[in-house]
Amino acid sequence: MDAQRRQIRQAKRDIRKRTEGNLERVRNLVRIYEGINAGQQGRRAACETDILRAAVVLLHACLEDFVRTLQYWRLPTAGAVALNEIPMKGLPRPGKVQLGDVAQFRGQSVDDLVRSSVEEHLSRSNYNNCDDITRAMDAIDVHLDEGLCRRTFPAIEEMIRRRHQIVHRADRNEIGGSGNHRVSSLGREKVNEWIEAVETFAASVISAA
């Protein structure tokens, strides 16, 4: 039991360190933006705030990496309900598995097959809204505190929507304005708010895992 507790503590430390390192990369982009624009007044040019857009895209990647890393850790030992949602390695979707499908893995243990199936599934995973994140946490028996969701999910959801606009629409705003104003404005205060929300969410989830 002591060995198991040590393994859990070490896993949490590793995930926390990985997440903190990722978030520091996002903060560094914000610092680069601040250095470029120190002392300037007024709305920044789109080519300057593109540094902040890159920070938003990286922040969403940090959030996805955090959720995915937790699932890598916990899913291989999850119960049947969660594992039944994951296709066996080499199959396109979960469902009926025939003996011939299993035969190709002769010599592997069941644990090895489960883990490799989970890894293949997660290599294609993404989390495009807070419902996706909640389902991912439920699958590994990490049930999110309602207060935490109320505190962090509005900002996280806003960040994910903005990331989608940046990645799929180049953050264009075609409704009104001209020139520079055809790109949606973005400030460091908003990006820092989103960073804080992701950091708070991750720290709370690690404590609860």
Sequence-separated contacts (24+) of 73-78 with Cβ below 8 Å = 73/11, 73/15, 73/140, 74/140, 74/141, 74/142, 74/209, 75/118, 75/122, 75/139, 75/140, 76/111, 76/114, 76/115, 76/118, 78/139, 78/140, 78/141
Task: Pick 126 or 98 by higher pLDDT.
Answer: 126
pLDDT tops 80 at residue 193: yes
pLDDT for 128 equals 94
- Helix or strand or coil: residue 145? coil
Ranges 1-5, 59-63, 78-82, 104-108, most confident: 59-63
Q: pLDDT tens digits, residue range 79-93?
A: 999 999 999 998 888
On whether the CB atoms of residues 7 and 74 are closer than 8 A, the answer is no
Distance CA 26, CA 59 (A): 6
For the packed helices 188-208 and 146-169, what is the interaxial angle rounded to 10 degrees? 130
pLDDT for position 39? 61
Nearest to 85 by CA among 26, 40, 140, 128: 140
User: What is the set of domains in the chain, with CATH numbers?
Assistant: 2-77+126-208 (1.20.120)
Residue 170 falls in which region: left (phi positive, over 0), alpha (psi -120 to 50) or beta? left
Q: Do 167 and 61 touch, CB atoms closer than 8 A?
A: no
Rounded average pLDDT over 158-184:
83
DSSP of 83-131, one letter per residue? HTTSPPTT-SSSS---HHHHHTTTTS-HHHHHHHHHHHHHTT----SHH
CA 167 to chain centre: 16
What span, in angstroms and rounded, lies between the C-alpha atoms of 144 and 146? 6
Task: Give pLDDT tens digits for 28-55.
Answer: 999 999 998 766 665 667 778 999 999 9
Q: Residue written as tokens 């120190």?
A: 38
Q: Taking a C-beta distance cutoff of 8 angstroms, is the pair 137, 153 a contact?
A: no
The pLDDT of residue 178 is 53
